[in-house]
Amino acid sequence: MAPGWSFTLESVCNDTHIVAHQGVTQASRAMHEAMLASRPVSCPYCGTPFELLVDGSQGSHSTWEDCPRCCAPIQVSVDVAEPDGSVQAVTLARDDDVL
């Protein structure tokens, strides 16, 4: 393995992917993951409840997540308060909805 690289197996929608992380150790990944806020949400397609990890350090942003059950693409809008980075709101919507 190349120096400075680590690899993890991640399962997304019944597919397993090898994910490479350059310059990221397991300890720093665990520390970063500890800073994520967990929010209880439900899929806008199938209604399945799940925990969504939200990173407030990125500021307000929009992203996409796949439902862990039906694998539908979910729009995620994250509103973050400046300058402390606290997550104020998380909004989920279907693929064809406009956020």
pLDDT at 53 over 70: yes
In the chain, % of residues over pLDDT 90: 41
Q: Which two three-digit tokens encode residue 60?
A: 């307000």
pTM to 2 decimal places: 0.65
pLDDT at 27 over 60: no
How confident is the prediction for the chain on average, in pLDDT? 78
Residue with the larger pLDDT of the pair 57 and 40: 40
pLDDT at 2 over 80: no
